[in-house]
Amino acid sequence: MRLRHLPLALALAAGCLATGPAANASSSAAAFDAALAAGHAPAFALEYDGVMHQIAGLDRLEVELEGPDGQPGAIYAAQVDGRPATIVRLGDRLDIAYDDEKASAAGRAKRSGEWIPDYAGLDDLAGMGDENPPDPEADQPGGDGLNVWIFLHDNANEPDHARFVNWYTAWWLKEMKNDVIPGKPVRVFLKTRVPGLTDLDYHAGTQVERLHDVHLRGFEYVDGVGGHPGPLTRYMLFVDKPAGNWGSNAVGVALDRGKSAMASRTGPRHIVAHELGHTIGGVHEHAQTFPCASSMAGYVLATISCRWYTSANQRNIREFLTPLL
């Protein structure tokens, strides 16, 4: 098993998102729920970010989403003011992201002004040696779908969970469900305040040790809440700043075809898809970097996120997951 990193150069490549302040998102969520309850879907007016919008063609996606409070969330495709958009309803928040948002708009993540001109995205591997602890899920059967547990570090600075999902995972969920493993469940569980995990000192020790902590402590949590861990379960710790032990310019790390990953919010929009991709068969070699950076791209200079895997990486992931389904 090998270790994967995503370079800090990718931080130059984040796209953009149209979202409103948290307070407005909360009141918009109540209005959205009321419109659905009144039977106004698929067309109604909604105030969001202080502006009235026309919502039409509302279509709830067949993906499974659970928030930190244990309550289910929902992801919708819609036309908002005549433009294709994705709406996430989670907790007490609502978030709207236009699917065709231009790259010139304000970005979501913090960015680095540094990049490595000779970085090709293929030199970020480290041998695991004899550091592998026993896998508690090794003898468990597969499952009916892919289960991803994302733990937000206590210092991750991600208070708006609907916005987090819309920025990093909603489009990934749609791609996985529609194009990679169609007909199979894909689930995302977003969790906060998990002692021993979301307060993990990921800066300490080595990256390999901390990735094993994410796996083993994630497994213990999921098993403890009846979440049915197994070969199709993945664990990610999402943090604010990268750790020095990740290596120079890295904004994410993952165990190659392992079950755990860490990602920093200083990375690009596809940082979650990238690091998760390493745990399910995606590779840098089958990525593209022009005219946009596909989700497994390991080198990007001033390029926005495509928000999809290349067809070759879709095939890699499908071939990796299918025997477990």
Domain boundaries, the chain: 2-15+105-324, 22-98
Q: Is the predicted pLDDT of residue 285 greater than 70, yes or no?
A: yes
pLDDT class of 198 with cuts at 50, 70, 90: very high
Q: What is the pLDDT of residue 25?
A: 67
Q: Are strands 64-66 and 186-191 parallel, antiparallel or unpaired?
A: parallel
User: Residues 296, 313: contact at Cβ < 8 Å?
Assistant: yes
Please name the residues in contact with 201: beta carbons below 8 A apart, sequence gap of 6 or more: none
Pairing of strands 93-98, 83-90: antiparallel
With respect to CATH, is domain 2-15+105-324 assigned 3.40.640.10? no
Mean pLDDT throughout 110-125? 31
Work out the average pLDDT over 130-135.
68
Q: pLDDT at position 123, please?
A: 35
Q: What pLDDT digit, counting tens, does each position of 173-197 carry?
A: 999 999 999 999 999 999 999 999 9
Which candidate, 232, 285, 12, places its Cα nearest to that of 125? 285
Asked if omega into 291 is within 30° of 0 (cis), the reply is yes
Q: Which amino acid is at 320?
A: F
Q: What is the pTM of this model?
A: 0.86
The pLDDT of 216-223, averaged and rounded, is 96
Pick 324 or 24 by higher pLDDT: 324
pLDDT score recorded for residue 173 = 96
